[in-house]
Amino acid sequence: MTREISEMSSEPDPIRRRSLRTPAELVAAGLVAADSRPALERVAERTAIALTPAVVDLIDPADPHDPVARQFVPSIAELATVPEERADPIGDEAYSPVKGVVHRYPDRVLLKPIMVCPVYCRFCFRREAVGDADGTLSAAEMDEALAYVSGRPEVREIVVTGGDPLMLPPNRLADLVARVGRLRHVEVLRFHSRIPVAEPERITPALAGALKPAPDSDLAVWVSVHANHPRELSPAARKGLRRLAEAGLPLLSQTVLLKGVNDSAEVLEELFRALVRNRVRPYYLHHPDLARGTAHFRLSIAEGQEIVRQLRGRLTGIAQPTYVLDIPGGAGKVPLTPQFWDGENGEVTDWRGGKHAYPPR
């Protein structure tokens, strides 16, 4: 499905291993049992599959509970759906004025120039929309998307997502940065990407340079990296992050809280510390969305809050993301921060559980 994309790339394609894209390839690689193949073919009819060599290298095939495999290797559990799940859990469709744009909040829009990804995360909230090369905006559609923003001076920020926008070749990215730089009311251009983890070899000097605005531009370009487990910050991923940081791009991260992957304070602490060490500021910890066939990844909000509560105090403040829920249907994101303040009794609870009157009595 992404063949077109790699041919579009301006980089000469190095001799490298290919991504795994079919149940047969996963069986051959020893990542799934041969007898699960017929069921996984049904999963493959509904959603795209891809594991890059970088991701395959992070997996221990001998570990049946491997936290990286769980994120990318399809599972029979995906065939089960529960009534509250949706094809479009956060209501992108309802808030899309033109192809490739989602406008939910007054001051910012999402721009989705491309709908393919280097990997297909099994918990993805857009899992029924991604993986389709037809979702890539044509030149005319991109013009229309930018014209929409151009006509709306209240839009201060463009959040580029997809799919994974860093799948675009550097010349297309540089063109986007330059065009957005000419929209005088747009102050911030933010890219969301899984590439630094999933295909770090794409973070070339050319790509980092393409994201960097012109020296005389007032546009700020931010990059938010999707990472869920400390093991994802491999030496190659760290090198890519360094390259982005050294290009002067402020780095954020997004993590999805996932059962069996990172649902403990210990794992999240290790992940957030590793991100901060690599100059990435943890931004959001997402409660998993109600995408179809993802019940096996979800924990309760109460469980999530208990984990987040444990992080407070034991982990530096700059490594604490905001725990958020994207309200099903499209009403937007809200913080799920656990409460430390009990207004009724005029009491705050510290991170060790100690109680304090406020104001002090």
Ligand X SMILES: *Cc1c(COP(=O)(O)O)cnc(C)c1O
Residues with a catalytic annotation lie at: 104-105, 108, 117, 121, 124, 126, 289, 326, 333
Q: Amino acid letter at 103?
A: H
Task: Considering the complex, state which of residue 102 and residue 291 has its C-beta at the smaller distance from ligand X.
Answer: 102
Closest distance to ligand SF4 from the beta carbon of 131 (Å): 8
Report how far residue 277's alpha carbon sits from residue 331's, in angstroms, rounded to the nearest whole number. 34
Cβ atoms of residues 72 and 55 within 8 Å: yes
Q: How far is the CB of 25 from ligand X (least distance, A)?
A: 33
40, two tokens: 């996984």
* From ligand X, ligand SF4, none, interface partner of 176 (C-beta below 5 to 8 A by class): none
Site residues (vs ligand X, CB under 6 A): 90, 102, 104-105, 108, 110, 159, 333
Task: Output 124 or 268, the one with its CB closest to ligand SF4.
Answer: 124
Residue 104, binding choice from ligand SF4, ligand X, none, Cβ under 5 to 8 Å by partner class:
ligand X
Q: Which one of ligand SF4, ligand X, none is in contact with 291 (Cβ closer than 5 to 8 A by kind)? A: none
For ligand X, the closer CB: 88 or 269: 88
Q: Are 126 and 102 in contact (CB under 8 A)?
A: no
CB atoms within 10 A of CB 247: 17
The CA R_g of the chain, rounded to the nearest whole Å, is 21
Three-state SS string over 46-95 comes to HCCCCECHHHHCCCCCCCCCCCCHHHHCCCHHHHCCCCCCECCCCCCHHH
- Find out whether 212 and 204 touch, Cβ atoms under 8 Å: no
CB of 121 to ligand SF4, least distance (A): 3
- Residue 330 burial class via C-beta count within 10 angstroms: exposed 0-12, middle 13-18, buried 19 and up: middle
- Measured from the CB atom, the residue of 181 and 328 that comes closer to ligand SF4 is 328
Q: Which does 105 bind (CB under 5 to 8 A by kind): ligand SF4, ligand X, none?
A: ligand X
Taking the least distance from each CB to ligand X, the nearer of 163 and 169 is 163
Which residue is at the shortest CB distance from ligand X? 104
What is the contact surface with ligand SF4 in residues (CB under 6 A)? Answer: 117, 120-121, 124, 126, 130, 162-164, 194, 226
Residue 124 binds: one of ligand X, ligand SF4, none (C-beta under 5 to 8 A by kind): ligand SF4
For residues 276 and 63, give the distance between their C-alpha atoms in angstroms, rounded to a whole number. Answer: 28
Residue 253 CB, shortest distance to ligand SF4, in Å, is 13
